[in-house]
Structure 1
Amino acid sequence: MDQPEKFKDIWVVEDNHELRHTLEEVIDSEPDLICSMSFRRCEDLITALQKESPPQIILMDIGLPGMSGIEGLHHIRSLSPATQVIMLTIYEDDDKVFESLCAGAIGYLVKGQTTLKIVESIRVVLDGGAPMNARIARKVLTMFSRFVSPQADYALTRREQEILELLVQGYSQKQMAAQLNLSPLTVATHMKNIYAKLHVHSRTEAVVKALRERLI
């Protein structure tokens, strides 16, 4: 289903009917957001991605019946690389965090947060940021510290190193520009150079590599 350009399309994948319906209503209540499609199963999402115009963001439960959210992430990355995925789950264990980030999730939020907080997280992603629950962020940093490998020399400049550190903290390009007193275009150029030097294709891959290889 094609949507007017002014709307940002957000799909929802959640097997709990009440929560799914609530998320639809909250998204649709925003003047510039729309939830054009929602699904109970990941398999139905994959089918829709093969037929419909992809959304900007997918909000997806990790513990779905049938295909799991983490498995679904791999299919989403293949079918629609530009679509960002925010995981919504009751799980808080390190393995689930690690798997979802490595599979390409841009953010990870624990169920129990307010629906308005979830909308705020959607807006962070639309602005180029990476939302993550504070408890999960601490777990991620602790977890990656266990996977220490020899630090490679990627020849990052001092400015690129600063931007990579802000990237890991979830800053958007606009926030980085304000923090470093740079133009958004300059920040975008630095990020492009960082991706090339690290041999990655997205901010999520850059964050995972930075944490896993202790680049910050």
Structure 2
Amino acid sequence: MENKITRIVIVEDNEVVKDGFALLLNSIEEYHVVNSYVKCEDALKNLKNDQPDIILMDLELPGMHGIEGIQRIKKEIPDLNIIVITVHEDSELVFQALCAGASGYITKTANYSSLLEAINEIKAGGAPMSSRIARMVVESFQKNQDSPLTKRETEVLELLSKGKSYSIISEELFIHKETVKSHIKNIYFKLQVHSKAEAIEKALKEKLI
């Protein structure tokens, strides 16, 4: 039985990386780079014509950011596999991209075998990522996605649960001590509690932290 050709689109503004990946992939019989772009906007515009099975997506791009591009592409074609092309494999951006819908990532310095290994893993239903990023993803989904708390309030409450003082929290988050107190007041109000112990207990029970 003849292998189905895997159609690949590359979105990368570094010409050397883009052309290098395209050259490698086009040398494999079952892969075909149907198009390459330097901007997300162009990839989105040609999505229906290109009909890719896999998109290799840079994050720091001119115009639309790669994370927004991933979200919009997944909205149009939910089953499409997107692999992030990144310089820093353990960055917060990679984590955000995976939460946005990317299936995994490869580094811009990936050699021939690493590139093919990542793509083959994606095709087999896997998700190539480092253990650190995998842990971040798992922890994010363990939290209650319907939390009434803002991101900053959650950070304050997490530090409170670790026994940090108001002064330490203000130093670690680079905010004024009075701002910390204001966040805690809001936390108490939103969680309908009256003490730090109650706030932490409720937050742990409802997986808010």
Partner of 2:52: 55
1:141 to 120, 131, 135: 135
Aligned-residue CA RMSD (Å): 2.4
Report whether the alignment pairs 1:113 with 2:110.
yes
Q: Deviations over 1:87-111 (max 9, x none)?
A: 0111345421331111001002222
Partner of 1:160: none
Distance 1:15 1:127, change over 3 A: same
Q: Deviations over 1:66-117 (max 9, x none)?
A: 1111010011111211210000111345421331111001002222221331
Q: How many residues align?
A: 144
TM-score with structure 2 setting the length:
0.62
Q: In 2, distance between residues paired with 1:79 and 1:147?
A: 23
Partner of 1:29: 27
- SS of residue paired to 1:75: helix
Greater relative contact order (CA < 8 Å, ≥ 6 in sequence): 1
Greater C-alpha Rg: 2
Note the residue ranges of structure 2 that are not aligned, 5 or more in a row: 145-206
| Paired residues for 1:68-147 under 5 Å | 68-92=65-89, 94-132=91-129, 134=130, 137-142=131-136, 145=139
- SS of residue paired to 2:55: strand
Distance 1:65 1:96, change over 3 A: same
Distance 1:53 1:39, change over 3 A: closer
Partner of 1:156: none
Q: In 1, distance between residues paired with 2:30 and 2:121?
A: 14
- SS of residue paired to 2:34: coil
Deviates more, 1:100-109 or 1:141-150: 141-150
